Structure formats: C-alpha cells, structure tokens
Structure 1
Amino acid sequence: MSASFRELLKKVGSGPHTGKNLTRAEAATATELILKQEATPAQIGAFLIAHRIKRPTSEELAGMLDAYDQFGGKIPPLTEETAYPVTVFGVPYDARSRTAPVFPITLLLLASLGVPVILQGGDCMPTKYGLPYVDIWEGLGINYRSLTLEDNHKLLSETGIAFYYLPKHFPQAQKLVPYRDEIGKRPPFATLELIWSPYAGEANLISGFVHPPTEDRFREVFDLRPMKKLITVKGLEGSCDLARNRTGIIGVREQDQEFQRLNLHPEHYGFAGRDVLLESKEQLIQDLQSVIEGKPGELMSAAIWNGGAYLYLMGICADLSQGLAQAEELIKNGKIADKLRELQIQVTTNLGSGSKN
C-alpha cells in the first residue's frame, strides 16, 4: 500500500464537509502513483470514484495533465513549418453508441487543405462501449493499431493525419481501462483525455463536451497550461461532431484574447435534419464510403455541415457559408477520396503495417 497516496485519497474522499481539493502538484503526484501502479487497486478504485463524485477542479486537471505529459508517449513534433497549426481533437475514448460518426470525413477534408490533424482513442472501452474510431479507420482500409509514434510522425508530416492509439502509445494509461468497467462510471481520466494533447509540439486543441461545467473547467485549464488555441464543441455524445437537429454551441479561446461564443444554426443554412443513427459498423463504413465517393444521402449532409463548420472555425474560410460551399466542393470533386488513397498508400507501402477491411 502507498502511504503517500492514502493521504491524497483521504483529501478527496472525506466528503463535502471535510474533504479538500488537491493542489496542482498533489494531483500530479496522485496521477503518477496511479500510472506507475504504486497505489493498490483498492486505492485506485476508491480515488477514481471519490474524485468523480467530488468532480475535479481545473487546478487538479492541470496537475493530472502534467503527469500525463511526463509519462505518456507523444508524437514527435514536425520539423517543417506547415500552412496551419497541428490540431488535436479530444473525443471520448469510449466513443459513440447512438449516432453515426462523420468525423473521419472532417479529418480527411482538413488534411486535404494542409491542416495536420491528430485523433486519439483506444479499443472498445467502458462505460459506453461505443464503436472505436480505430475500428472505423480499419474499415476504411487504414490499420492504425500497428503504427509506432515515429510512424505517426511520418504520417502527420506526409499525409496530415495521425492517430494516437492508447494501448500501444500509452500502456500505463491503458492499464486503467478495466477500472472504468469495475466502477461503472467514467473516471476523471475520461475528462482529462478530452483536453490532453499527445503531440510533443505546440498544437491547437479542439475538445468535445456534453455538460457546460466541463467546458468551464476546460477554459480555466487553458489559463493554467500553455495552449495556443482551444475550441470547445458541444457535439454528438460529447464528440466533436456537430448535430444537425440543434444549434451547434462552440467556444473559442486564444492566447491574449477573450473567450468567444459561437452559435451555429443548421436551419439558417439549409442543413437542419435528423442525426443519422449508428446501426452497425458495416452500415457506417458503407455510408462513409458513399460520402467519400460523392454520393448524396443524410450522412453527406452531416459531412458538409461539419466540414464547412470546421473550415470556418480553423480560419480557412472567412464565413460559414463559404466553408459549407468549399466543403461540398472538396467532397464531391474527389479530394477526400484522393486523401484517403494517399493515406492508404503511405500506411500499406511505406510503413508496411498493412490494411484491414
């Protein structure tokens, strides 16, 4: 048993009257002891559920991120200057179980315009047990599971799309996944993952969220840690995919600038509609392939809406209308299909990992 961890556990687990928040340094120490498995399983489980009930403060999240930076592997920084900053997308690692992700199309679109993008996640994970993004990419012919951090560095440099795969790139954090199932709730690390950058260089960060207090904490963490730009998205199931059946709520915070709130109304641009349900992996891959081939459909509308919104948010287009028009053109003229083929060739030929359909 770790005596030092027990003292930290007592602080967060003593209840609303006598419990105390951890300092940033204490939160970093607690996370280190958990990642190194120096705390016992009983201590780790107790800490995770107590911290969830208490809710992590922004200072605690900053300390946890400090520990992740110290112990987690990171994709090496690009050596050549890019037209746009590297952008990391923070999405729930337990993925989506109700709505169909259109996010791979968005990443292909951004990469086709010179925006280097990084997505992160793992395998099927509690508590949602949604369809992992790594499985979706495999369905599109890209096996990210076998790639090293150096492989992803090369992919990011040459194709603009990298994937940080938790089991391979951060095994210490992967060992905490069973706790999610055993406690039956998302632990504070699930919040941490939405705002952690697995890139060793400076990057913009786009984080999905569901509940407004989470976004508030993200904004406070921005003030505590070096970040160039933070974009928060109230997306489908906490992802970065914008819904079509409600207003898109976006927050933008840049260094030395005030927080900005953007409300994107799909009905104002002719894109209101139902959000496509996730029926099966096979159906989703088929629908994504149809979008890539430029065929019409409900997922096509979602792809254009999301693609246009991100072209606007990333500063590629001056306004949302222009972003939507350019997104539609890029998808329907084959640019997305070209980017996917480029990615497939790089992975299967130059990195030798093979593809899996």
Structure 2
Amino acid sequence: MSYAFRELLRKVGSGTHTSESLTREDAAAATRMMLLQEATPAQIGAFMIAHRIRRPTGTELAGMLDAYEELGPRLQPIASAYPVTVMGVPYDGRSRTAPLSPLIALILATAKCPVIMHGGNRMPTKEGEPLIDFWRGLGVDWSQLSLTQVQHVLAATGLGFIYLPSHFPLAHGLVPYRDQIGKRPPLATMELIWSPYAGDAHVVSGFVHPPTELMFQDAIAQRGVTHFTSVKGLEGSGDLPRERTAIIGLGIPTIGFERLHLHPRDYGFEGKNVALDATPKLVKAMTTVLGGHPSEWMQSTLWSGGFYLWRCGGCPSLEAGIQEARRLLTEGLVLQKLQEIQQVATPLQLTH
C-alpha cells in the first residue's frame, strides 16, 4: 500500500464538507502513482470514484496533464505552415451518431493543417465505436505503428494518431478501472485536453456540460495554452451538430476567450445528424464522401470541415472554409491525401 497516495485519497474522499481540492503538484503525484501502479487497485478505484463524485478542478486537471506529459508519449515538433491541431474526443466512442473527425482530419491535412488524434480500443463505460476501427476501415492501421513510425507519418503527411495500448501502456493499464467503477473517472475528462505533442499546438476538445468547459479553460490557462477550441459537439466530440446551434469557445492568443454560436440553418446545413451504423457501412459512406458524392454525410462533413479549416487558419472565413472543403472533396484531393497516408504507413505496418 502507498501511504503517500492514501493521504491524497483522504483529501478527495472525505465527504462533502471536509474533502479538499488537490494542489497541482498533488494531482500530478496522484496521477503518477496511479499510472505507475504504485497505488494499490483498491486505492486507485477509491480515488477515481471519490474524485468523480466531487468533480475535478481546473488546477487538478492541470496537474494530471503534468503527469501525462512526464510519463506519456510526445510527438516531436514538425515543420508546418499552420499549428498542429490536437483533436480530443471521448475515448469510449460513439453510440448514437457517426464520427466525422477522421474526415475532418483528412480535410485539414490536405489543406496543410496538420492533425494529431489519440485514443484506444472499445472502452468503458459507453463501449462505443472507437476511432481506431474507422481508420482501419480506411486502410490506415495506427495500432501497427511504433511511436517513431507515427512521428514519420506525421512529418510526411500531416496526420498522426497516438494509440494508447502500444504508445502509452501506462494509461492503457488504467482502462479496466473504468469498467469496474462503472463511471467515467476524471481521467476521461482530462484526456479531452491532453496534447501528446512537444510543440505549440491548437487544442480542440468536445464537451457536454458547461462546467466542464470552464474546467478546461482553467486547466489549459495554467499550462500556458492560449490556442484552443471547445465545442459542445456530438456525444462530447468536436463534431458540429446540425440539429441545433453549435456552442463554441475560442481561445485566441493575445485576445483571450470568445464565445461563438453557429446556427446551421444560417449556412444551409440544418438537418439530421448522421446516425451510427455498423462500422463497415459507415466506412463505405466515408469513402463515398471522399469520392465527392452528395449525401447527408457530405453535408455534415462540409459543415464541420469548413469550420475547422477556418478555425485552424487555412481559410479567412467560415464561408470560405466550407467552399474550400467542398473543393478539396469534389476534386478528389482529400482522397489523394488518404492514399498518400496509406502509401507512407502501410510499409511501416509490415515492418513493425
């Protein structure tokens, strides 16, 4: 048993009136001891559920990110025309709506706006479809690449993916606790703003509840991140909804935080979000979009892809971003980018 961890557990688990928030240093220490399994399983489970009930603070999230930076993987800076965008999505996947982020990432990479994604396999508590399976369906199996090989693909094509089981096994070792406690632990909140990139990055995260966004703002401000985007998106992701107004937070260097409300009907995109289906069917639909064919999938992709082209600096306005996304797709340039990634990654998969 770790007596040092027990003291931290006492602070967060003492009840409504006597529990204490951890300092940034204590939160980093607690996360480090959990990642290294220096705390016992009973201690880790107790900490996760107690912290879940009390809810983490921005300072605690910052400390948890400090530990991830210390012990986790970090892709090295690459030369690029635009900052690298790190897209954080819930690791436990999707259960109602189809994910747009693989297509968004491909559009951005085509426009020379590099993207890093991260995640693992099917995961508690939702046990939804993970992004890694959609990438496999598109012919890029990030799970078969070493971290060095992912670095090579990122530098060569502008796209990379950190796969927890092989690139961050310490974090993957904590996944079973999510199932055992039956709730998302605060780690699942922190992961949305984790940036496994050693250079300056544009951090994009989805959120569901407004208090979560406030915690994000506090945490990343303490860590010196000024370029970020928070989206009240589909199932906690950064995918823009089409059935309601998109509520977006913009962190802008030298300016600060700004609130943006985007009404899809104002741009001709009001409609139903694409429903989740079997992964092979969704992958087939994705390839149809990559072929430039009109569909509801295409409309959803243009809405989100156009926004991110503008937000990531590739276009001067949202309207220009939508038009550019349409051009890149209909002219087959995004499909060419996917084929380029396949050509770079596939030989590496065979040697891993």
Which category describes the TM-score, using the shorter chain as reference length?
A: over 0.9
Q: Decide whether the 8 Å contact of 1:202 with 1:228 is kept in 2.
A: no
Task: Find the residue that maps to 2:193 and give its secondary structure.
Answer: coil
CA 1:269/1:354 → structure 2, altered by over 3 Å: closer, same or farther? farther
Counterpart residue number, 2:9: 9
Q: Decide whether the 8 Å contact of 1:76 with 1:150 is kept in 2.
A: no
**Structure 2, gaps ≥5 residues long:** none
Task: Find the residue that maps to 1:261 and give its secondary structure.
Answer: strand
Counterpart residue number, 1:177: 175
Amino acid at match of 1:201: G
Tell me the CA shift for residue 354 of structure 1: 8.2
Counterpart residue number, 2:76: 76
Counterpart residue number, 1:66: 66
**Structure 1, gaps ≥5 residues long:** none
Counterpart residue number, 1:256: 254
Counterpart residue number, 2:113: 115
Counterpart residue number, 1:21: 21
Counterpart residue number, 1:85: 83
CA distance in 2, matches of 1:87, 1:12: 33
CA shift digits 1:148-203 (9 cap, x unpaired): 11111111111111000001111111010000000000000000100110112221
Tell me the CA shift for residue 257 of structure 1: 1.9
**Seq. identity, %:** 53
Mapping of residues 189-204 of structure 1, within 5 Å: 189-204=187-202
Tell me the CA shift for residue 352 of structure 1: 3.8
CA distance in 2, matches of 1:222, 1:175: 25
Counterpart residue number, 1:141: 139
Task: Find the residue that maps to 2:192 and give its secondary structure.
Answer: coil
CA distance in 2, matches of 1:313, 1:347: 28
Task: Find the residue that maps to 1:62 and give its secondary structure.
Answer: helix
Q: Decide whether the 8 Å contact of 2:144 with 2:349 is kept in 1.
A: no
CA distance in 2, matches of 1:127, 1:93: 10
Task: Find the residue that maps to 1:153 and give its secondary structure.
Answer: helix
Structure 2 residue corresponding to 1:151, chosen from 145, 149, 152: 149
CA distance in 2, matches of 1:37, 1:352: 31
CA 1:97/1:72 → structure 2, altered by over 3 Å: closer, same or farther? same
Amino acid at match of 1:61: L
The range that moved more, 304-313 or 176-185, is 304-313
Mapping of residues 325-340 of structure 1, within 5 Å: 325-340=323-338
Structure 1 residue corresponding to 2:232, chosen from 234, 242, 260: 234
- Tell me the matched-pair count: 352
Tell me the CA shift for residue 283 of structure 1: 1.1
Q: Decide whether the 8 Å contact of 1:143 with 1:353 is kept in 2.
A: no
CA distance in 1, matches of 2:350, 2:302: 31
CA distance in 2, matches of 1:89, 1:321: 22
CA shift digits 1:84-108 (9 cap, x unpaired): 0111011111111110112111111
Task: Find the residue that maps to 1:232 and give its secondary structure.
Answer: strand
CA shift digits 1:205-249 (9 cap, x unpaired): 011111110100111112200214011011100011111111111
Counterpart residue number, 1:38: 38
Two-structure CA RMSD over aligned residues (Å): 1.2
Counterpart residue number, 2:54: 54
Tell me the CA shift for residue 267 of structure 1: 0.2
Task: Find the residue that maps to 2:143 and give its secondary structure.
Answer: coil
Amino acid at match of 2:229: I
Mapping of residues 313-324 of structure 1, within 5 Å: 313-324=311-322
Q: Decide whether the 8 Å contact of 1:210 with 1:235 is kept in 2.
A: yes
Q: Decide whether the 8 Å contact of 2:85 with 2:312 is kept in 1.
A: no
Tell me the CA shift for residue 337 of structure 1: 0.6
